[in-house]
Amino acid sequence: MINVTKSTVPPLEEYIQYLQGIWERNHFTNHGCLVNELEEKLKAYLQANHFYYVSNGTVALQLAIRALDLSGEILTTPFSYVATTASIAWEHCKPVFVDIDPETLTIDPDKLEAAITNKTQAILATHVYGNPCDVERIEQIARSHGLAVIYDAAHCFGVTYQSQPITHYGDISTLSFHATKLFHTVEGGGVVTRNDDLAHKISYLMNFGHNGPEAFFGLGINAKNSELHAAMGLCNLPRVNAVIEGRKAVSDLYDSLLLPTGLITRPRIRSGTEYNYAYYPVLFASEADLLKVKQELVKHNINTRRYFYPSLSQLDYVGNQPVPITEDIAKRVLCLPLFDSLPHEIVSEVSNIIVNTLSHVMI
């Protein structure tokens, strides 16, 4: 089976060297030296004022909401992984959906202002498939209405916008280092902020509220990560640029081979973006076409993913919030296999199956 993604792994001997040090120190968690080293290296990579390495990307979102003391309505996108909306609801806030731009697939700033009420406290927007939101307009709207801004940058590791890391934007940005991501620590996430006060809150929120071993600043949870996960991150971080280059080569090949289909491949990437080729989404003319192609690929042991499907507006805990563009796009978008080591002959096979299936549909 060719999966839609494949985790980058270092040579086993390299990882084992880190494990040997962990065993010798007998220090597996609670701010070990590898966690501290990875935090410093990621902070430098992201050119971040403050960076915190946490247990996963969902907890990163929850910490961001808590650090900003949010309790009301949060404007968000219905076109994202469920963790974005679930984190809002989990923190007892109300997700209010704003539909997406049909070309970039990110939250539509033209619709944001109309959705603001006296209960609105923040905007939580997702950079989709590595494509940045319209950060200038979002932040202008937020400033004019006194709203906080969180960016879910789970897809955006290595992305820059206007020559700056995408995590420079917003009050807080969050990252995911799940094994499916182009940079991963098996499980893990990150929280980035430029604000000193928010950084201080995040530092104790993620560690039970501790202020030293016997005192507490206030309420907190356990969002720390382990030395074992940090070791994987330290192995993978030096490989990020090569991974992105490999994904670019695969994506460029898909572009050329799928050109005869006339399909929309990838969203319109915002001008000024240095893209990371995180995913390869294809937008079909209809859900029926998508299902035929997906079924045909499965016959050839090729796995794809309807990502994101369904629209988050369909969740049973968010209430009825129609978002017609998202609901349409979610039915027609399919992510094809993409990872840096994907053999080019497999890319050709996938593309040929799509071309042949769609040509039969047209007949």
pLDDT tens, 253-307?
Answer: 999 999 999 998 889 999 999 999 999 999 999 999 999 999 999 999 999 999 9
- Asked which of 191, 206, 238 is the last residue of a domain, the reply is 238
Q: Average pLDDT for residues 130-159, to the nearest whole number?
A: 98
Per-residue pLDDT at 181? 98
CA distances from residue 43 to 47, 53, 129, 237, 297 in whole angstroms, order as listed: 6, 10, 22, 12, 41
Do both 205 and 263 map to the same domain? Answer: no
pTM listed for this prediction? 0.96
Strand order in the sheet with 281-283: 264-265, 281-283, 333-335
- How far apart CA 157 and CA 219 sit, in angstroms, is 30
For residue 191, being part of any structural domain is answered with yes
pLDDT tens, 205-261?
Answer: 999 999 888 888 999 999 999 999 999 999 999 999 999 999 999 999 999 999 999
CA 224 to chain centre: 19
pLDDT tens, 36-53?
Answer: 999 999 999 999 999 999
Do both 245 and 294 map to the same domain? Answer: yes
CATH of the domain at 137: 3.40.640.10
Do both 246 and 218 map to the same domain? Answer: no
**Residue 23 clears pLDDT 50, i.e. is over it:** yes
CATH of the domain at 278: 3.90.1150.10
Q: Average pLDDT for residues 151-157, to the nearest whole number?
A: 98
Q: Average pLDDT for residues 345-359, to the nearest whole number?
A: 97
For residue 6, being part of any structural domain is answered with no
Do both 212 and 335 map to the same domain? Answer: no
Per-residue pLDDT at 266? 84
- Token pair 């039970």 is at which residue? 208
Do both 75 and 133 map to the same domain? Answer: yes
**Residue 348 clears pLDDT 60, i.e. is over it:** yes
State the residue range of the domain holding 273: 240-362
Report the share of the chain in percent with pLDDT over 90: 95
Q: Average pLDDT for residues 297-323, to the nearest whole number?
A: 96
**Residue 363 clears pLDDT 50, i.e. is over it:** no
Q: Average pLDDT for residues 115-143, to the nearest whole number?
A: 98
Q: Average pLDDT for residues 1-11, to the nearest whole number?
A: 96
- How far apart CA 129 and CA 198 sit, in angstroms, is 27
Do both 175 and 143 map to the same domain? Answer: yes
**Residue 8 clears pLDDT 90, i.e. is over it:** yes
Number of domains comprising the chain: 2
